[in-house]
Amino acid sequence: MARQQSQLNRSTSHELTPVASCRDRGRQSFIFHAKRHLGQFARLSLSRQFEYPANPLPSEDPQDTDTGVIGTHVRTGHAQPEQSSAFAAWSALNIGSQQQMWRALNDMLVHQAPVLAQRAETLAARAAPGSLELSPDLEMPAYFLQTAYHGQPGGYCLDRGGDDWHAGALQEAGGNLYSRGAGTGARDSKGQAVVRFLGETFPEFAPDKVIDLGCGYGGQTSNYAAGFPDAEIHGVDLGASLLRYAHLRAKSLGLKIHFRQACASDTRFPNASFDLVVSNILLHEIPQTMLEGVMQESFRLLKPGGLVVHQDVPTQRPGTPEFQQWLSNWQVAHNDEPFWKSFSETSVPKALVNAGFSQADIFERYQPQIDGPLLWYMVGARKQ
């Protein structure tokens, strides 16, 4: 049984990890505490507006008599949080803290650019157990070129040419600070949560070949390499800068991972070439048509008996509180998450069936975070 509990998480450091100066630490601590506070405010105060709407409106729709349960609160009318001054203030501070988070992290990377560039050069010269395959002529989907996910400057498609890996460094640093501000602990890891889910649900499953779709900076891919040390590990993503960083990062951690620049719906690997296909928070960042394509590619790539597991935000949970749904919509309109809402409204099991999986082989689970208060949505299937 080649499954190990990896120790890679949000506190993992490597040779490209920037070292925060005293000023950096002060700025980032402020953003962290502001985000924590704003999150608590949303849960404890803003959410109550669904119980006590400032301006309850009579329903014009006779069918709209739902009393959707909101945590322990019951909806008593149409909540109108957008009309309240508390909502306006919270939104301004929330989006402002997000903008400042990126600025603070970007400044830290720029200040340390000479040192980090030197380390990257040393890493590049070091023999790699894994590989990096870029395709400069790869056609990028329009949505990828147009989305600055969560406000990350330049988005995931930013590529300043040459050996640039800035987008990858920003993605790792931003993901860590954002998650900690949202209440996730430093020991958390989405990839580990998937490895643990597989261990609990399919204890005999031991993949020989694993592919991580939309692997980004390679943080979760590292967890599959550590979790399945005897397996051949691959990661694909569209972003060249993300992949250059992922490759150097894996080198620094001594992990054998093969990265390829490719679309998650068209990886260019042969049919039936993987035992395990995974993705981490990919599905809510792609349009509906691409999600269908990812499911089809998952089916095509799997060997008979292989497993696919997609891990994502838990917005699809039956009975998701109305306030959580409202927060999801806020992310769409305010935090450069254009596909979050459509993902919430998509049936991933149905997309898996459409791709060729049998209904009886599909599973869904809400899996606790390794170190955090959230449940992750795990959805997948075994290919017969």
Partner 1 sequence: MTEGAQPADKPTYFEDPAVQALYQMVLILGEELAATREQLHALIKLHESGEITSVDTIDAFVPDESFDLERADWVARLMEPLTQIAEAQKRR
Q: Which of 39, 68, 71, 153 binds partner 1 (CB under 8 A)?
A: 153
8 Å CB contact between 197 and 276:
no
Region of 95-103, 242-250, 263-271, 286-294 interacting with partner 1 (CB under 8 A): 95-103
Minimum CB separation of residue 159 from partner 1 in Å reads: 5
Q: At what angle do helices 85-111 and 322-334 cross, to 10 degrees?
A: 50
Q: Which is nearer to partner 1, 237 or 297 (CB)?
A: 237
Site for partner 1 in 11-40 (CB under 8 A): 19, 21-23, 25-27, 29-31, 33-34, 36-38
Q: What is the CA radius of gyration of the chain?
A: 21
Distance CA 278, CA 92 (A): 36
The amino acid at residue 313 is V
Minimum CB separation of residue 63 from partner 1 in Å reads: 29
Q: How does 189-217 read in b/e, with b if 16+ C-beta sit within 10 Å?
A: bbbbbbbbbbeeebeebebebbbbbbbbb
Q: Which of 147, 176, 265, 311 binds partner 1 (CB under 8 A)?
A: 147
235 is a contact residue toward partner 1 (CB under 8 A): no
Distance CA 360, CA 122 (A): 51
Q: Which of 57, 110, 126, 160 binds partner 1 (CB under 8 A)?
A: 160
95 is a contact residue toward partner 1 (CB under 8 A): yes
92 is a contact residue toward partner 1 (CB under 8 A): yes
User: What stretch of H or E contains 323?
Assistant: helix 322-334
Minimum CB separation of residue 115 from partner 1 in Å reads: 12
User: What stretch of H or E contains 242?
Assistant: helix 240-252
Region of 119-127, 334-342, 352-360, 364-372 interacting with partner 1 (CB under 8 A): 334-342
8 Å CB contact between 236 and 261:
yes
**Burial class of residue 343, CB neighbours in 10 A (0-12, 13-18, 19+):** buried
Q: Which of 14, 132, 159, 291 binds partner 1 (CB under 8 A)?
A: 159
Site for partner 1 in 272-331 (CB under 8 A): none
Which stretches of the chain bind partner 1, using CB under 8 A? 19, 21-23, 25-27, 29-31, 33-34, 36-38, 41, 45-46, 48-49, 52, 54, 84-93, 95-97, 99-100, 104, 140, 145-148, 151, 153-155, 157-161, 167, 333-334, 336, 338
